[in-house]
């Protein structure tokens, strides 16, 4: 059995992690309020360091800012890079947004196969049982509809390539997603 001071150290470390997560959550909430309130400078000031520390949600919000020029210079390439980073960390909304960029070629080379790959991965990560609170609508629905629309216009080679890329991405644990 471990000495009491080891257990106290482990408990304290756990409290620090929890406190750290709570602090980030509070920062994220403050940043989100600033963003939706139109205070983009403050939102950027809050989200940029959090994103640099690897927070996928902060990356996705910054990507959105660069996509639409919200308080920053419009930068399609940077937007796509940030969505991709967040997507590689499993952020489903970023994967969905990145798929949209690939479909129209905004900040990335237009690619139906990449569009379908990111939509397929997003659908895989959501799972069948997740639902949006109060609405009863599946989180899968907009992604599924978008994917079905793209599939209906895609050729066989794009479909096959997308499925292969999605499988490789999942198999590599998001290290080989192109």
Give the C-alpha separation, 48 to 62, whole Å.
Answer: 7
2: number of Cβ within 10 Å: 8
Residues 80 and 30 in one domain: yes
CA gyration radius, the chain: 19
Q: Which domain holds residue 165?
A: 111-178
- Segments in the chain forming alpha helices (H): 4-36, 40-52, 56-68, 76-88, 92-104, 112-126, 140-153, 156-171
In a domain, 147, yes or no: yes
In a domain, 178, yes or no: yes
Residues 117 and 36 in one domain: no
Residues 71 and 24 in one domain: yes
Check: CB of residue 31 under 8 Å from CB of residue 64. no
User: What is this structure's pTM?
Assistant: 0.81
| pLDDT tens per residue across all 178 residues of the chain | 444 444 444 444 333 334 446 777 889 999 999 999 999 999 999 999 999 999 999 999 999 999 999 999 999 999 999 999 999 999 999 999 999 999 999 999 999 999 999 999 998 887 643 434 444 456 778 888 999 999 999 999 999 999 999 999 989 988 888 7
Give the C-alpha separation, 120 to 126, whole Å.
Answer: 10
């Amino acid at each position: 059995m471990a000495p009491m001071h080891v257990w106290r150290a482990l408990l304290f470390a756990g409290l620090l992690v929890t406190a750290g997560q709570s602090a980030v959550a509070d920062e994220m909430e403050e940043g989100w309020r600033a963003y939706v309130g139109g205070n983009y400078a403050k939102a950027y000031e809050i989200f940029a360091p959090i994103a640099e520390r690897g927070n996928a949600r902060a990356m996705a919000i910054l990507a959105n800012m660069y996509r639409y020029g919200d308080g920053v210079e419009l930068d399609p390439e940077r937007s796509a890079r940030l969505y991709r980073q967040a997507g590689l960390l499993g952020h489903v909304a970023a994967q969905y947004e990145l798929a949209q960029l690939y479909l129209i070629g905004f900040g990335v080379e237009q690619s139906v196969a990449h569009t379908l790959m990111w939509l397929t991965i997003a659908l895989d990560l959501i799972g069948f049982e997740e639902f949006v609170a109060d609405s009863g609508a599946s989180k899968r629905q907009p992604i599924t509809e978008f994917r079905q629309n793209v599939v209906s216009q895609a050729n066989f080679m794009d479909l096959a390539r997308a499925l292969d890329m999605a499988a490789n991405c999942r198999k590599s644990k998001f290290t080989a997603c192109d």
